[in-house]
Amino acid sequence: MIKKIFEFFPTPRFLKFSYVGLDIGRESLHFAELISTGESFKLGRYGRRAFEANDNILINESLKKTLREIKKTDGVTYVKVALPEEETYLFTMEVIGDTPQEIKNNIEFHLEENVPIQDSDALFDYYILPKKDIKIAVVSVVSRDVINKYNSILEECGMTAVSYMVESGALSRSIVKKNYVGSHLLVYLSREKTMLGVVEYGFVQFSSTTSFGGAQLTSAIQKQFGVDIEEARKIKYKEGLFKTSGDGESFATGLATTISVLRDEIQRVSAYWIKQTNGGGSPVEKIILCGKDAAIPGFDDYLSSSLKMPVEISDVWINIDYYKDIVPEISFEDSLSYATALGLVLPTND
């Protein structure tokens, strides 16, 4: 049996109501709903809300206020929630057993040697890779305390978590074409961080997070052109790496040092992927960029040239047939920040 998604507390059969995907970042959240058209799905409720950053989600009053607002204005009650990579653990192991319960017991027996969480506090999900020679499970683990933390703040704001899914797993569901078995490296660039995930057989098998984010690109523009933050953002999204200074200096030249941090991390993850699989993993075939800053003009070309690897900007509607011939309600640039929220609510066949 191949598990299609990472999902904790899957939806009980009697709870087949309307829900939205909720992706909570450090300073903003995105939510999105998909509504059945009979043959496909179309976008329902959606939105982005900013709030003040706070390292402790339980005492973030700005976040709580924001959640209460979307509960009131958008009628959001039931949610599927993305768990940040920093709060979860991912590992692979060879498993024995013929039934789901036997496999589960085998994984439980080896949990503590793979993650720093006691068995009694660990919640996990897994899927079996479609390999014929040996049975390999990719296991995602989160502590019960993390789930309780999210449940607590959601319930305080009048919401109910239907299920939880790892951030990278939700992302891959929306931007990697269904049934594709090759290896991709997903690079999700948000304001404060970048999440990288290797996907093979349609599932995330390795992920990493770096502190490099879009804010550093904005700061680089401010420094090079001597402008304020708002003007720097305008330059970033309108002209990007094609911007030149008065003396004809290319923006890409001055930005190279900044972007090299991300480039080096991509190279490290790509190399580690092959090493950790003892050469059994397929080399990364291409990089898929996501997040609003992925659409910075010239950014994908710069990375492709620097890494000597195909790089493309993601299409968050690639697995939603409804939008093959219809222009989505969200602009292309903005849609790149909704990938995780949409991945949470994409239907699956278990």
Could you write out the DSSP letters of every residue in 318-346? TT-GGGSSS--SS-HHHHTTSHHHHHHHS
d(CA 33, CA 37): 13
Model-wide pTM > 0.95: no
CATH architecture of the domain 179-314 equals: 2-Layer Sandwich (3.30)
Q: Residue type at 110?
A: H
d(CA 197, CA 206): 6
Closest CA to 311 of 327, 336, 340, 290: 290
Q: Is the pLDDT of residue 117 over 50?
A: yes
Tokens read off for 130: 């479609």
1-88+142-176+318-350 fold: Nucleotidyltransferase; domain 5 (3.30.420)
Domain ranges for the chain, please list them: 1-88+142-176+318-350, 179-314
Tokens read off for 210: 């770096």
CA 271, 273, 274: angle at the middle one, nearest 5? 70
pLDDT digits (tens, 9 = 90+) for 48-68: 999 998 888 888 999 999 999
pLDDT digits (tens, 9 = 90+) for 280-296: 567 889 999 999 999 98
d(CA 194, CA 211): 6
E strands in the chain? 20-24, 28-36, 41-50, 78-83, 88-94, 122-128, 136-143, 160-166, 184-189, 194-200, 203-210, 286-290, 311-313
Of the pLDDT bands very low, low, confident and very high (cuts 50, 70, 90), residue 5 is very low
**Span 150-165, average pLDDT:** 96
179-314 matches 1-88+142-176+318-350 in CATH topology? yes
